[in-house]
Amino acid sequence: MQIARRRLVQTGLAGATFGAPFVVRAQAARELKIGLITGPSHNWTQAMQSFSEALKKESGGRLSAAVFPAGQLGNEATMIQQMQTGALDMGFLTLAEFSNRNANFGAFFAPYLTRDVSHAAKVLKGKEAATVLDQLSDQGLAGLGFGLGGMRHVLSRAAAPNAAALKGKKFRITPFAPLRDFYQFAGIVPTPIPLPGLFDALANGQIDGADVDLELVWTLKLFQQAKHLVLTKHMMFPVVSVMSGRVFAGMSQPDRQLVRRVMAVELDKLFAKYAQAEGEWLTQIRGTGIEVLQVGREFFGDVASAWEKHWSPSAPSLPKLRAEAA
Ligand code: BEZ
């Protein structure tokens, strides 16, 4: 009897009444495919691995997720297209990519919107962020929640006492308009290079420096190529967990809730991870002996206000995010 009961639970038939004249359909087992561009050891990839394990456990083995890191399924633009057709189930993608499609998402990249990752986490869990997350449905996607990477800094080959000293130099940026404009306002030549090409671009001298976070400097050993790190903290760098709108709509209500709940736990763990790891990476980077310069907003002069003036008309969420951040 015990064994029979367990089988019914496993097949989702536990609610069926013996001898009843109707059939309760078993919820099919399902493996969700998740794509992302970060490498296997990056914290975003680890978070999705952890989500996969938690989902399996919480669903009694019926739901699971297979994680495809390092752009195995294509770049972020390709993965979004795949999710729109339902060919890919889920992605854990930079918000940067979405800001290229909906300028309002650019509001999150307002210079100096947040002080540090803990502050950024609060804004990303706030009311306006939830409103913006819903706007992903316009792109055929279901937004499950925001996470983040480290705060952004400047890594330079040459000494960089201020941004003016970098005028005319080529700096790698993640390819998205808000960051491109920020560097352009600073007179630094923005050179869009997706994450997988960053190390080689620095190593072969294609660029004079890069817009980075501490995780990249430490784990990709960028400190071996450029020896001046300026701790500017000029932007936060959100990631967003998204699901194909078609796939999400095809799931049962309890399954949708389960996926949302399990993801929310993983995103909270990711926020906590960065809050702790930023200090550790900095200590490790300092230990390499490269120059680490602590600067304030004066480093970029009036670039932040030029950016704000330029982006405010196309990013209506900006004043609300600033108010919540304050
Ligand atoms: C970047 O382009 O710098 C980046 C992308 C994904 C995760 C972290 C950083």
Residue 195 near ligand 1, beta carbon < 6 Å: yes
Cα 75 to ligand 1 centre (Å): 12
- Contact assessment for residue 159 and residue 228, using Cβ atoms and an 8 Å cutoff: yes
3-state SS, the chain, equals: CHHHHHHHHHHCCCCCCCCCCCCCCCCCCEEEEEECCCCCCCHHHHHHHHHHHHHHHHCCCCEEEEEECCCCCCCHHHHHHHHHHCCCCEEEEEHHHHHCCCHHHHHHHCCCCCCCHHHHHHHHCCHHHHHHHHHHHHHCEEEEEEEECCCCEEEECCCCCCHHHHCCCEEEECCCHHHHHHHHHCCCEEEECCHHHHHHHHHCCCCCEEEECHHHHHHCCHHHCCCEEEECCCCCCEEEEEEEHHHHHCCCHHHHHHHHHHHHHHHHHHHHHHHHHHHHHHHHHHCCCCEEEECCHHHHCCHHHHHHHHHHHHCCCHHHHHHHHC
Residue 202 in this model has a pLDDT that exceeds 80: yes
Which pLDDT does position 11 carry in this prediction? Answer: 34
Q: Which residue has the higher pLDDT, 25 or 209?
A: 209
Sheet holding 90-94, edge to edge: 63-68, 30-35, 90-94, 238-244, 141-148
Residue 94 near ligand 1, beta carbon < 6 Å: yes
Distance, in Å, from the CA atom of 69 to the CA atom of 298, rounded to the nearest integer, reads 38
- Contact assessment for residue 233 and residue 115, using Cβ atoms and an 8 Å cutoff: yes
Least confident of 18-22, 45-49, 108-112, 166-170: 18-22
Cα 104 to ligand 1 centre (Å): 20
Cα 240 to ligand 1 centre (Å): 12
Sorted by sequence, the CB contacts under 8 Å of residue 43 that are 6+ apart come out as: 149, 215, 270, 273, 274, 277
pLDDT, one tens digit per residue, over 4-30 is 334 333 333 333 333 444 555 567 899
Distance of CA 129 to the CA centre of its chain: 14
Average pLDDT, stretch 114-119?
98
Which pLDDT does position 28 carry in this prediction? Answer: 82
Report the residue among 79, 94, 151 best suited for mutation to probe ligand 1: largest number of ligand atoms under 8 A from its CB: 94
Instruction: For each of the domains in the chain, give its residue range(s) and CATH number, in order of start.
Output: 29-325 (3.40.190.170)
Cα 175 to ligand 1 centre (Å): 10
Cα 281 to ligand 1 centre (Å): 16
Find residue 93's DSSP bridge partners: 240
Which pLDDT does position 27 carry in this prediction? Answer: 74
Which phi-psi region, left, alpha or beta, contains residue 242 (left: φ > 0; alpha: ψ -120 to 50)?
A: beta
Cα 42 to ligand 1 centre (Å): 10
Which pLDDT does position 139 carry in this prediction? Answer: 96
Which pLDDT does position 23 carry in this prediction? Answer: 53
Residue 237 in this model has a pLDDT that exceeds 50: yes
Residue of 294, 170, 155, 169 whose CA lies nearest to 221:
155
Structure tokens at 170: 């080529």
Across the chain, mean pLDDT equals 93
pLDDT, one tens digit per residue, over 241-260 is 999 999 999 999 999 999 99
Ligand 1 atom nearest to 195, measured from its CA: 2
Distance, in Å, from the CA atom of 73 to the CA atom of 64, rounded to the nearest integer, reads 18
Closest protein CA for atom 8 of ligand 1: 149
Average pLDDT, stretch 26-51?
94
Cα 154 to ligand 1 centre (Å): 14
Average pLDDT, stretch 152-156?
98
Average pLDDT, stretch 228-245?
98
Which pLDDT does position 26 carry in this prediction? Answer: 65
Closest protein CA for atom 9 of ligand 1: 195
Cα 170 to ligand 1 centre (Å): 18
Residue 69 near ligand 1, beta carbon < 6 Å: no
* Residue written as token pair 């800094």: 153
Closest protein CA for atom 4 of ligand 1: 195
Which pLDDT does position 25 carry in this prediction? Answer: 58
Ligand 1 atom nearest to 211, measured from its CA: 3
Residue 149 near ligand 1, beta carbon < 6 Å: yes
Which pLDDT does position 71 carry in this prediction? Answer: 96
- Contact assessment for residue 290 and residue 229, using Cβ atoms and an 8 Å cutoff: yes
- Contact assessment for residue 34 and residue 1, using Cβ atoms and an 8 Å cutoff: no
Closest protein CA for atom 7 of ligand 1: 38
pLDDT, one tens digit per residue, over 291-318 is 999 999 999 999 999 999 999 999 999 9
Which pLDDT does position 5 carry in this prediction? Answer: 38
Residue 38 near ligand 1, beta carbon < 6 Å: yes
